[in-house]
Amino acid sequence: MTYTIEKVTTLIGARRYGSHEAKIGFLLTDSRSLCFPEETLFFALHTSRNDGQRYIDDLYRRGVRNFVVEHVPAQYAQTYPQANFLKVTNALEALQRLAERHRDEFDIPVVGITGSNGKTMVKEWLYQIMSPQLCVTRSPRSYNSQIGVPLSVWLINEHTQLGIFEAGISEPGEMRALRGIIQPTIAVLTNLGTAHQENFSSMEEKCREKAQLFHDAQTIVYCADDDTVSRVVNEVYTHGERLCWSQRDRRAPLYIKSIEKKATATTVTYSYQGGEPAWYSLPFIDDASITCSIACAAVALRLGLSPDVLDERMQQLEPIAMRLEVKQGQHGCTLINDSYNSDINSLDIALDFMQRRPDHQGRRRTLILSDIEQSGERAAGLYREVSALCQKRGVEKFIGIGPQLCEQADKIHITDKHFYANVSQFVHSPEFHTMRDEVILIKGARRFDFDQLTELLVQKVHETILEVNLSAVAKNLNWYRSFMKPETKLVCMIKADAYGAGSVEIAKTLQEHRVDYLAVAVADEGVTLRKNGITANIMVMNPEMSAFKTMFDYDLEPEVYSFRLLEAMIHAAEKEGITDYPVHIKLDTGMHRLGFNPREDMDLLIDRLKHQNAVIPRSVFSHFVGSDSDSFDDFSAQQFALFDEGSRRLQSAFGHHILRHIDNSAGIEHFPERQLDMCRLGLGLYGIDPRDNHVINTVSTLKTTILQLRHVPAGETVGYSRKGVLTRDSVIAAIPIGYADGLNRHLGNRHCYCLVNGQRAEYVGNICMDVCMIDVTDIPCAEGDSVEIFGEQLPVTVLSDAIDTIPYEILTDVSNRVKRVYYQD
């Protein structure tokens, strides 16, 4: 759904500065998540640590034109001539008010879920249970905060038949706003635990805060066996239906008669509203999953699902990929990663999961735990409780990280125990490097940076270096921009480690120069960028199905080129609770490598995209086969006609603007009329014009040094297999670069040369793995002198021409053990 900017202004009670027409379909609070600038409304939220108004300038450059602000920028009409500014007293309250008014538009059942633990599991399982028969809109992931809830509710549209939203609170006074936004017809309280207890005077006070979600709900769902919850509900909820469940009270609307755990499944027998006993089975045996399933059953039955269908859907439930992950570790270890938060209740859930996980190898169970914060308990009592849980759940080794745990070490009664002040100290300890054959639960609060535990940094030392001129990158970028219309967006290709130049530093330079997208080959390349502070949009050109979660976690946007990939992507996004995830649709117009057929596949593709809300097409693109050669111009014209037809059909099926792009580096220059919404800059960025292979501005220079000089008489041979036969007395230099560094073996045996002190020195004999030999007989030089393999004085195209290949191959062959040295002119 979209709203006009005039309507939004009215709904939030703002004063408008700027009179430009606009439609709003997307709300944004984090500038790093920008995807659809043309229809985005940015809320410049002010917090104790940040001020959203700092990002207005950047967002305006990236295409955003509509902003909700508490302070209108000075001289806004001159600085941002195409912008609308909606001035409000409080930007967060305006966001919440807009979501509340949006919710008012829909008369549908809405489930609101609160509780100390299990909110996301209940939400996602309800989605799995109800989505086969209803169009469900739900919170993406754990969007349950004062910001997350309005962003979630905004996702409701005209197709929504059921809404499911989480509501999380951490202090008094927060639930009132969330209740008004969600307006649940069915409200669920999963459980009451100690999370955020330090902000409440008692468990009862916290329960009262959570129970505010019940205020106007037609039906409430809770566990009647919790005395605190039952007491508070009896006091605050005086109307509507109390759909409580109980294992003790046979009169409860949902009476749980028995819970039978087997090896890999659990059967729950129940009576609903006094009816005949029924049952369902689920493929989980841990207590947390069983409790969440009961809450799901109550809601599903209330929504009219029959016991038979409920049983069928429960048996098909899939694990929720939210916070707890199981991964294969090094040295025979299995990692259970639950480093999202750390409180005593979630610790018990995670320990229960680890204890019940089958391990036929008899490996030790190890817990790595950070300080537990915000518990509201005294430290001594808290860690005695932790110790008791560990003993109960079979923990054999305990590793505590944080000052509190160090102080309370004597409260942990595990024989094999170790304590460290921080993650860095642990990572550098002998204990970290001797972990073998263990099942390891990693459980830590956010601020302890537990993701470092799986990363070991190894310093790379090598006398061969690749010098990268970042100023040249910027010059090449601007050279191509000079061919483009100002409004045309640009994707910069930094796959294959930025064509060997090193993706992180290249990406930082491009981000500084405001490129619209970066493109990588695989998700891991994008993760490296994100971990190094890159916030620009990142496109993944060759997404692997095993990497979907990685892409979701790091906001990486995949190319989609087949129905198989599309279906897997939709399934993965739905499993993660994700909606409207941007994807880039690839059409095959003649390359015949990857892509949808723009004539035969479009109807089915459009139909599938329209009947789901997990992904949304952000762009549609194709590849020219030969834009670098005039001889292929006729075929390029055929390609463009196919692309134009297919991409227009896709656009006509959607209300939001879908970016179209087909021009690559050669196309930008050769086909300016086909630049469309966006272009892709690859080899040209790195200084090679693919039209004629001339050098624009040299980016990468591969250098090494002379290790040793040796006088070798005529008739002798140099290197393996005696291929380098000398016809005269020669001076042979050994240099520390070989095919393991990326120097192609076909360059050997005098097929090409490098430069020593500006003079040509041919490669003699076979190139070895780590070393090669060059002929410096007529070149004044000494050990330690510099050698240029390719670069400023020796174009990379000389090497590629010598072995009949392309510059791409020479550049991307440079291995990671070659140190990159970055500089600016």
Contacts of 763 (CB under 8 A, 6+ apart): 747, 748, 749, 750, 751, 752, 753, 754, 772, 773, 774
- The alpha carbon dihedral of 641, 647, 649, 651 has a sign of negative
Give dist(CA 621, CA 642) in Å, integer: 11
> Of these residues, 206, 210, 495, 575, which one is catalytic?
495
Give dist(CA 725, CA 716) in Å, integer: 6
Give dist(CA 96, CA 521) in Å, integer: 39
- Of 659, 660, 656, 657, nearest to 640 by C-alpha is 660
b/e map 506-533, b = 16+ CB within 10 Å: bbbbbbeeebbbbbbbbbebbbbbbeee
Looking at this protein, which amino acid is placed at residue 291? Answer: T
Give dist(CA 96, CA 153) in Å, integer: 10
> Of these residues, 460, 485, 720, 823, which one is catalytic?
720
> φ, ψ for residue 565 (rounded to 5)?
-65, -40
CB 382 within 8 A of CB 456: no
Catalytic, 76? Answer no
- Of 631, 622, 617, nearest to 663 by C-alpha is 622
How many CB atoms are located within 10 Å of the residue 227 CB?
8
Looking at this protein, which amino acid is placed at residue 25? Answer: G
Q: How far is CA 684 from CA 118, 374, 813, in A?
A: 51, 53, 18
CA atoms within 13 A on the CB side of 421: 1
- Of 362, 322, 387, 404, nearest to 123 by C-alpha is 322
Looking at this protein, which amino acid is placed at residue 410? Answer: D
- Of 565, 566, 656, nearest to 607 by C-alpha is 566
Give dist(CA 43, CA 605) in Å, integer: 34
- DSSP symbols for 646-704: HHHHHHHT-SS--EEE---HHHHHH-GGG-TTEEEE-GGGGTEETTTTEESS--EEEEE
Give dist(CA 757, CA 269) in Å, integer: 85
CB 174 within 8 A of CB 210: no
Looking at this protein, which amino acid is placed at residue 672? Answer: P
The token pair that represents 311 in the structure block: 């049983």
Catalytic, 495? Answer yes
405's enclosing H/E stretch is helix 403-407
Q: How far is CA 624 from CA 328, 642, 670, in A?
A: 41, 11, 11
Give dist(CA 731, CA 735) in Å, integer: 13
- Of 398, 480, 823, 498, nearest to 680 by C-alpha is 480
Contacts of 338 (CB under 8 A, 6+ apart): 323, 324, 325, 346, 350, 441, 442, 443
How many CB atoms are located within 10 Å of the residue 648 CB?
14
Where do we find the tokens 């209940």?
A: 122
H helix intervals, 577-672: 602-610, 633-652, 665-670
Q: How far is CA 415 from CA 40, 369, 388, 398, in A?
A: 56, 16, 13, 8
Give dist(CA 785, CA 797) in Å, integer: 24
- Give the residue numbers annotated as catalytic, written as ranges: 495, 720
